[in-house]
Structure 1
Amino acid sequence: MDKQYPIGKFTARDVYSAEELASFIQRIETLPHRLAAEVKKLTPAQWDTPYREGGWTIRQVVHHVADSHTHAYIRTKWALTEDAPTIKAYLEKPWAETPDTRMEVTVSLTLLDALHAKWVT
């Protein structure tokens, strides 16, 4: 098993059913609440524990989810509003080391809650 991608890397298909799309949207909508429920089970000391050897801390992962989902939301908006959008990548590792990733995880959980509410409409 690849510890960096424990469920494997994503492989997109060309076509998805309406039911699959509805399920994906529902998962996007509920992710902030599911993530918050899991984080609430942890102590603040556990937030600073790497999820795997050599990996990011739980705190960094939560902040990374907020960062990456912000990028995904913006990319979705570009796809909906531009004929040929330029999708800019970002360097995840340096982003995971910026000062804001040491903030309380509740900051990113709040951001995710608002962002996902907008994203699924």
Structure 2
Amino acid sequence: MTWYTGFLIPVKAADKDRYIASAKAAWPLFEKYGALQQVETWGEDVPDGTHTSFPMAVKKEEDEVVVLSWIKWPDRATADACFATMESDPAWQAMDMPFDGKRMMWGGFAPIFES
């Protein structure tokens, strides 16, 4: 069954081009390990909330933008195998990560409806 890994990331607005370059550089690695699709979106209409919101979830700072991204996998096993290589494949270690990884959120999701 198809599997998705979702990410919510605070990125400094000034680092937008650097983030895009990093995402583009990551795609060949994700694809090598079986990813079917990678989608990166730059927040343009992401309101602050009173009780909860995307900005609150990542503790967004004034000069940051919320990025929502996801990777589509053929199944969970493929995704898990890919993420396991992040400690052993030196190509992952060489990646530029232009954001505060401590405030990045991620999770795996099984689809319940697709059209």
Does the pair score TM above 0.5?
Answer: no
Structure number with greater Rg is 1
- Tell me the TM-score normalised to structure 2 length: 0.26
Which structure features the higher share of helix residues?
Answer: 1
- Tell me the TM-score normalised to structure 1 length: 0.25
